[in-house]
Amino acid sequence: MSVRDEVKAATIRVIATEGVPAVTIRRVAREVGRSTSAITHYFSDRDQLLRESVTETLTEMQEQIEATLLTAEDPLMTFLEWSIEADPHGVWAAIVAASRVGIVPEITARASVFDQWWCDRLANLLEGRCAEGVDPQEAADAIGVGVEGLVLSVEASSQDTARRQQLLRLLVESLLATNVTDVREASMTRH
């Protein structure tokens, strides 16, 4: 791993453990075990460090789920379960929290781009799946609120995975024309 990559990884660790406001050149240098001048050799300032580290992390997350969706039995539920479980270290929760407060413009801007991708992807996956009388945009909005709540939940931990997935299913199934179990069973009979 290059020094530049080590620094970006250290930045993400600081975000995950201490939150976005804790990211400073000095704090990241301490995390990676290097001098501050080693950090500023690769990143001109904190904004560039945050922008590149967060952008790379979110891009990797998007690529990961897009590859997974290609072979998913139920892409909608796979996407939603990934949304609440793909971040065991809390990076996304810290980014969402920081963006909602708006204290770091670099994070707010990047989180906004990711949010727009996520909303568009969800709307695409909901196409043709909503129950009669359920507006797809309203369904997407409701699901988005539920997912964000599960991501930001104080109780959100790896021990709560089954409970969080159950809550997600309760929310989503009430909005769909066919429930998640029916989709999985239909998919299994096709194989």
Q: What is the mean pLDDT of the chain?
A: 86
* Dist CA 115 CA 178 (whole Å): 26
* Dist CA 9 CA 189 (whole Å): 43
Residue 172: how many other CB atoms lie within 10 Å = 21
Contacts from 65-74 at CB under 8 Å and sequence distance 24+?
73/183, 73/184, 73/187, 73/188, 74/180, 74/183, 74/184, 74/187
Q: 60-78: per-residue pLDDT in tens?
A: 999 999 999 999 999 999 9
- Average pLDDT value for residue range 144-165: 74
pLDDT at 156 over 60: no
> What is the per-residue pLDDT for 88?
63
- Average pLDDT value for residue range 140-163: 77
Q: 92-140: per-residue pLDDT in tens?
A: 888 888 888 887 888 888 889 998 999 999 999 999 999 999 988 899 9
What does 76-104 look like in DSSP terms, one character per residue? Answer: HHHHHHHHHHS-TTSHHHHHHHHHHHT--
φ, ψ at 88 (rounded to 5°): -65, -20
Cut 0.85: pTM above it: no
Residue type, 66: E
> What is the per-residue pLDDT for 148?
85
What does 138-162 look like in DSSP terms, one character per residue? Answer: HHHHHHHHHHHHHHH-TT-SGGGHH
CB 32 within 8 A of CB 10: yes
CB 11 within 8 A of CB 51: no
Q: 18-43: per-residue pLDDT in tens?
A: 999 999 999 999 999 999 999 999 99
Helix (H) or strand (E) holding 121: helix 105-126
* Dist CA 168 CA 68 (whole Å): 19
CB 61 within 8 A of CB 92: yes
